[in-house]
A and B are shown apart, each in its own frame.
Chain A
Amino acid sequence: MAAVAARHIRKQFGDVFAVNDISLSVNDGEFLVLLGPSGCGKTTFLRILAGLESQTSGDILIGGENVNEVPPRARGIAMVFQSYGLYPHLSVFNNIAFPLKTQNTPRDELRRKVDWAMRLLSIDHLSSRRPRQLSGGERQRVALARALVREPTVFLLDEPLSNLDAKLRTSARSELKQFQQTVRTSTVYVTHDQVEAMGMGDRIAVIDHGQLRQIGTPTEIYDQPADEFVATFLGTPPMNLVEREGGSLGFRPEHFLPREMLNGSALAEMPFRIDRMEYLGSERILYGEIEGRPSKRIVTAKLPAHAASDQLRAGDRHAFAVRCSELHYFDREGRRTREGAVQ
């Protein structure tokens, strides 16, 4: 059964549709990531799920029940905010206890639940501190504990890692994922960071301009992008697109290799003129153009650093190739088409 289902959700601000007809469902225990650039409507959609904003049209179902008219507190959701939204004047204990107090939970039960949540997130030693005395990672755990004690049907997380520094973010990411696997609560996680999305999501929903572009597992999203937006939004550097008759042809930089590195047949060969090279330690990024093409789109190639043979230099022309199985075809509207169908 779907823990959360959204049906044809629209949200209009003036003339603009911040959310334009999004339908999706989150399965029980699933970790669903909403991924999209800033301002694409993903946070608005999450706030609609939470009940903090009301949709212009469409239905929200949580645990099978229509919650359109249900206030946030009764929706069985818990939310973790970008800046955590901790109550600055309350201790860690009281922050976590707050949702229980509003439900008039008996004192000993409250104590038990808060202690359990604090232990689970290993913050029991911080119980009497105030939020401002905590580090970013500790605050995040307090926010998670506060969400956890409500025993919600679904967690809604709004970019909870974006306030952490890069190093902490990596460890917090795996902690968060581990935590979710322990409690097995369905989770909707909003982010604009594709690394977070790929690393944490059971499934990813890619959103742009208020529309759902594609929903699928990380491999599906990466290997079979539904359109040019998804193709170029994921991957660093993003997928190369070159013009072809009736649309465009896409291939990932890591699949675009010197001809001699690829064996077997079914290769699409392209003469590549290298303009610039970047050495990134584990890999080398080559920027250049494909010769003999009318458009001057910049194409990138990502080579393992050790494999980038010494003959490759900026200014060189070299034969590069892509396996035909790794080519993606898009039509004029940018939608994925069957491989080679139009060619």
Chain B
Amino acid sequence: MTAIAEGTRPVPRRSRFVLDRPEFMGPLFIAPAILYVVLLVALPFFLAIYYSVSAYTIFNPSYHFVGLKNLKEVLESDIFRHTLGNTFFFTIVSQIFGLLLGKVGAMLLIQDFPGRGIARALVVLPWAVPVSLAVLAWKWMFDSLYSVINWTLMAVGLMDPMNPAQWLGTTDLAMTAVITVHAWRLFPFGVVIFLAGLTSVPKDVLDAATIDGAGFWRRNYVIIMPIILPIITIALIFGTVFTFTDLSVVYLLTNGGPVNSTQVLGSLGFQVGVLSGDVSHGAVICLFLFPFLLLATIILLKVLRRREI
């Protein structure tokens, strides 16, 4: 019996266990990601680089090489230089406000109070709402006739009813409006990051600081902030990249206006390259983002590496 059983047992073939082998499965699992990056990131990126040194427009799709001519033209344009300045201003200011609000929000939400769970869920809303819907709501709030902001300011007597603010029609106010909306959209991200940071500080460390005589400010800025600094740096860099490349708020709220006062690189690139069909100049404008993003990425990776040690 034994002999028969042994005789009929199939000899295991090597190919049967191919799925157990990491050197086969590893590349298989990672292939979709590589494919995705190559097709949707690397390819368009190199295409953009090529467009930027060609004379390609929608109306005349020629790959004729023109060198740095496009770059020179873009750099000489007043609108572009103005836009570059706007982009930095918009990015930096909305970052500051987004993170500040995030910190305050996190410090409130880390307290124990009834309904904290609901409050925490609600805070994430600005992030979860589709940007088009959110901006639609804001557009009404900034409307020249129906602005609830103006109505409130008039009601408390801070604004002259005869001369209401034209939020989206005046250059300074339009920038304020764009930054407000963007900071509002960033703020939940800030809250989440700060909450994660604050909860990661060991309770023993906070108790020790309390006993050692550190008051609110010292506890916050000498103990907690340095401990969560790496997390904040990551948040800041993510937020910066996110804001720097963003065109949705500007495009939906002001479309760059009035007179390009809220134009950012993303929206300008879109207008020139897609709407006007001047692909090569659009590519140059968008590629201007690249050095800054590269720098941000390098810093990010450095911070992450330092954190691991």
Contact = CB atoms under 8 A, between A and B. Distances in A.
Contacts of B204: 81-85
A83 B202 contact: yes
Interface string B215-247: 100100001001101000000000000000000
A108 to B, nearest CB: 20
A336 interface: no
Interface stretch (B36-44, B206-214, B261-269, B271-279): B206-214
Nearest to B214: A102
A73 B204 CA distance: 15
Interface string A75-87: 0011101111111
A85 B208 contact: yes
A10 interface: no
B218 A102 contact: yes
Contacts of A51: 211
Contact of A88 (B205, B207, B209, B218): B205
Nearest to B226: A89
Interface in A57-87: 72-74, 77-79, 81-87
A150 B206 CA distance: 17
B211 A78 contact: yes
Contacts of B227: 87-89
A87 B207 contact: no
A73 B210 contact: yes
A220 B229 CA distance: 52
Contacts of B212: 73, 98-99, 102, 146, 150
Contact of B208 (A47, A74, A79, A103): A79
Using C-beta atoms within 8 Å of the partner chain, give the interface range for chain A.
20 to 34
B202 A85 contact: yes
Interface string A268-290: 00000000000000000000000
Interface in A143-166: 146, 150
Interface in A91-145: 98-99, 102-103
B234 to A, nearest CB: 16
Among B204, B206, B209, B227, the most chain A Cβ lie within 10 Å of the Cβ of B204
Q: Is the interface of B mostly helix, strand, loop or mixed?
A: helix
Interface string B179-208: 000000000000000000000001011111
Among B210, B215, B227, the most chain A Cβ lie within 10 Å of the Cβ of B210
A85 B202 CA distance: 7
A87 B202 contact: no
Contacts of B218: 102
Nearest to A72: B211
A86 B207 CA distance: 10
Nearest to A81: B204
Contacts of B205: 85-88
Contacts of A83: 202, 204
Among B204, B208, B215, the most chain A Cβ lie within 10 Å of the Cβ of B208
A142 to B, nearest CB: 11
A191 B125 CA distance: 46
B230 to A, nearest CB: 10
Contacts of A102: 212-215, 218
A103 B213 contact: yes
B114 to A, nearest CB: 14
The 7 closest A-B pairs by CB, nearest first: A85-B208, A85-B204, A73-B213, A102-B213, A99-B212, A81-B204, A89-B226
23 contacts: A51-B211, A73-B214, A79-B207, A79-B208, A79-B211, A82-B204, A83-B204, A85-B206, A85-B207, A86-B205, A86-B208, A87-B208, A87-B209, A87-B223, A88-B227, A98-B209, A98-B214, A99-B213, A102-B212, A102-B214, A102-B215, A146-B212, A150-B212
Interface of A: 47, 50-52, 72-74, 77-79, 81-89, 98-99, 102-103, 146, 150
